[in-house]
Structure 1
């Protein structure tokens, strides 16, 4: 009788050891599968974000993204998007010199004018309700977010506002220059 119990006990231990080994093996396989699954999800997410960015660039009504070209060595476009009536422009600036910043911000106006003129100005101004402008430093730290008056772009496009006046208004909101053009009509966040 003891011999049967010993054989059954040994068999049970052997079976338990096999199950334990296979569980470890399955766990290791599952970890590899989980890692592959996570990587696939990341790749899929990155691909979807890239497609979304491309759709946002193409999705600005009355605006030709290919014609929006900044002529600047100091300012670079981080993003340009249009969502729910808001045109969002984020630029990265590689200077802290006020005079250089002022000079380089002037490149925004001709870039916008060209992109709007090459498309459809009426469609652009009908669709865009607000203009959100974000300024980042060279380390990608957000330095300022401004809501600019869309009418300023219209005035620049049709010659009622000079490039210098447009830039001075931005700098005035940033607090870089004094108020030369009257009261401030916009807010910063």
Structure 2
């Protein structure tokens, strides 16, 4: 009988604790409105704010890659760093070079639809990562934010932008360790 009573007490305490934690979590994600009512925000809305809502001068809905082999894995902004991860569905370097051209019009549209000045004031770094179809990161590099500015204002062509990325990728691939440093 004592074991049964202890189990009931434990179950009651665990149930109370779970309800209390759920209530506390719910309070964290409520937003007071001007009229004194509380508006509850759902998980999807919070996730979207965390991931995309924080890119100043950037309209996430306008950022679309027109590519058959590239797709956005993740796009975010944190402490001055714009982070773009894409999934690449090819191993052909020529196809990749051609498809990377889709980055420029996508950025152009998303930034011009929002606020160019605000974007370039906020973004200090641009981290770009390529993943394969199995979600394995193949390359991660920092690109010069000024390249985006130059593309938007016509000082750098799309081809030059892509060539700069490919040069960095080539340097990363060539500097792959001791075997990459052979000078035969």
So what's the TM-score if we normalise by structure 1?
0.70
Residue 131 of structure 2 corresponds to residue 136 of structure 1: yes
Return closer, same or farther for 1:39/1:148 CA change in 2, 3 Å cut-off.
Answer: same
Cα deviation digits, residues 106-131 of structure 1 (max 9, x gap):
10010001111111111111111110
SS class of match (1:125): helix
Return closer, same or farther for 1:39/1:142 CA change in 2, 3 Å cut-off.
Answer: farther
Q: Is the 8 A contact 1:98 1:176 kept in 2?
A: no
Task: Tell me which structure has the larger Cα radius of gyration.
Answer: 1
Post-superposition offset of 1:50? 6.4
Matches within 5 A, 1:159-170: 159-170=154-165
Residue 84 of structure 2 corresponds to residue 89 of structure 1: yes
Residue 131 of structure 2 corresponds to residue 148 of structure 1: no
What are the ranges of 5 or more consecutive residues in structure 2 without an aligned counterpart? 24-41, 173-184
Matches within 5 A, 1:1-189: 18-24=1-7, 51-175=46-170
CA RMSD, 1 decimal: 3.3
Give the distance between the partners of 1:49 and 1:86, measured in 2 at CA: 23
Residue 5 of structure 1 corresponds to which residue in structure 2?
none
SS class of match (1:106): helix
What are the ranges of 5 or more consecutive residues in structure 1 without an aligned counterpart? 1-17, 41-46, 178-189
Q: Is the 8 A contact 1:63 1:124 kept in 2?
A: yes
Return closer, same or farther for 1:148/1:109 CA change in 2, 3 Å cut-off.
Answer: same
So what's the TM-score if we normalise by structure 2?
0.72
Number of equivalenced pairs? 160
Post-superposition offset of 1:152? 0.2
Give the distance between the partners of 2:123 and 2:86, measured in 1 at CA: 19
